[in-house]
């Protein structure tokens, strides 16, 4: 009789209860891990502070003290406090001397990578970006290796100079300038250095590695669709990729070009953005952004087309291999040169 009554229980409800209990446990485990991580990061900072405070400028004594502490602490607490790790704790304090500026969301592994950045401003930029975007250590390392900050600031600087000098407009730089980069590094596509792919193949490669592409795009992106159809009165048009940026509260249309940028590309994107704003964007959405990703940009097109209007149209180049520092410097040079020329023209006036 008891066996029969057990079979009458709702198995679907059993599963729902299990899922709910499991979610509770996972949430609690995550909270514990975050608390433990935060406590350990703070403890490592404090250990570094005490070592620096005790040694001051006495380098030789500092080495002696770290060796002494490593021997005793390793015997009591394990290899997590060996000479190398204690040295890293000292460097951690020296790199981030104010505890309140340390992001508790990041792990010790994040900080070991950040400490290798010699410039304080760069360290703080990547620390804040990693915390805000929830980058893994591997993602943080990739963004540093691909000069994420430099590419972002280069695009922002170019836009500001164009607005102030060439366009003679009073509009501020749009929020989109906070995530537009030039160039975009698509080394995750594993194209093996190929340059003979067409736009369809590039689009398919990006879809296959969508997560990595969204990381490269930047903050707050959600995928909407590919070959997204826009219906006009007599014809339909297809946008390569559409995303929604949650932070900017707007749609982002992306067109892929495996050749250099031309004026026709800008006109096409301008048309798509206008049509999308009119027929597809919601009343609460901010104006749509259009981004053309091309094999190389053209300064003339950028200066004498709708790209120069500061109205949400952008064009950036892309590379499919991880560039060296010298190669990226060369890629950023046209932008820097344009900024210098714009400043010179403004000063002459």
- CA 98 remoteness from chain centre: 25
CB 66 within 8 A of CB 83: yes
Q: What is the DSSP letter of 258?
A: E
Residue 253 CA to residue 281 CA, distance in Å, equals: 12
Tokens of 46: 């404090």
CB 272 within 8 A of CB 311: no
Residue 117 CA to residue 134 CA, distance in Å, equals: 19
Q: Across the beta sheet with 250-260, what order do the strands follow?
A: 184-185, 313-319, 289-296, 250-260, 236-245, 221-231
Q: What are the boundaries of each domain within the chain?
A: 11-144, 148-348
Tokens of 82: 């060996």
pTM of the model: 0.65
pLDDT tens-digit profile, the chain (349 residues): 455 555 555 666 767 767 777 787 777 776 666 677 788 888 889 999 999 988 888 888 888 888 999 898 988 888 888 999 999 999 999 999 998 889 888 999 999 999 999 889 899 999 999 998 889 898 899 888 888 887 777 665 554 444 344 434 334 445 566 678 878 888 888 776 677 888 999 999 999 999 999 989 988 899 999 999 999 888 999 999 999 999 889 999 999 999 999 999 999 999 999 999 999 999 999 999 999 999 888 777 877 787 877 778 898 888 887 766 676 666 666 666 665 666 666 666 6
CATH architecture of 148-348: 3-Layer(aba) Sandwich (3.40)
Cα angle, residue 132 at apex, residues 130 and 137 outer, rounded to 5°:
25
């Amino acid at each position: 009789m008891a066996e029969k009554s057990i079979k009458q229980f709702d198995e679907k409800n059993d599963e729902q209860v299990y899922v709910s209990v499991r979610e509770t446990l996972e949430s609690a485990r995550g909270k514990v891990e975050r608390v433990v991580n935060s406590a350990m990061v703070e403890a490592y900072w404090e250990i570094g502070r005490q070592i620096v405070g005790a040694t001051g400028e006495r380098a030789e004594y500092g080495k002696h003290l770290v060796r002494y502490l490593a021997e005793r602490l390793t015997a009591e607490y394990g290899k997590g406090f060996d000479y190398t790790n204690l040295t890293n704790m000292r460097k951690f304090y020296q790199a981030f001397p104010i505890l309140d500026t340390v992001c508790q969301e990041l792990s010790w592994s994040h900080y070991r990578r950040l400490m290798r950045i010699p410039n304080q401003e760069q360290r703080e930029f990547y620390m804040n970006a990693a915390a805000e975007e929830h980058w893994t250590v591997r993602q943080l390392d990739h963004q540093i290796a691909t000069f994420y900050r430099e590419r972002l600031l280069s695009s922002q600087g170019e836009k500001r100079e164009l607005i102030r000098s060439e366009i003679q407009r009073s509009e501020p730089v749009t929020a989109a300038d906070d995530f537009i980069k030039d160039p975009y590094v698509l080394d995750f596509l594993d194209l093996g250095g190929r340059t003979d792919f067409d736009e369809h193949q590039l689009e398919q490669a990006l879809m296959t590695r969508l997560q990595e592409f969204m990381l490269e795009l930047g903050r707050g992106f959600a995928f909407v669709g590919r070959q997204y159809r826009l219906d006009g009165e007599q014809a339909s048009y297809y946008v390569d990729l559409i995303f929604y940026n949650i932070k900017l509260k707007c749609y982002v249309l992306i067109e892929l070009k495996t050749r250099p940028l031309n004026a026709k590309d800008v006109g096409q994107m301008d048309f798509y953005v206008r049509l999308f704003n009119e027929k597809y964007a919601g009343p609460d959405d901010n104006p749509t952004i259009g981004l053309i990703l091309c094999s190389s940009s053209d300064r003339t097109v950028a200066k004498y087309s709708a790209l120069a209007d500061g109205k949400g149209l952008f064009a950036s180049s892309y590379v499919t291999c991880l560039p060296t520092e010298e190669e990226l410097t060369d890629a950023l040079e046209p932008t820097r040169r344009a900024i210098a020329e714009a400043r010179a023209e403004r000063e002459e006036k």
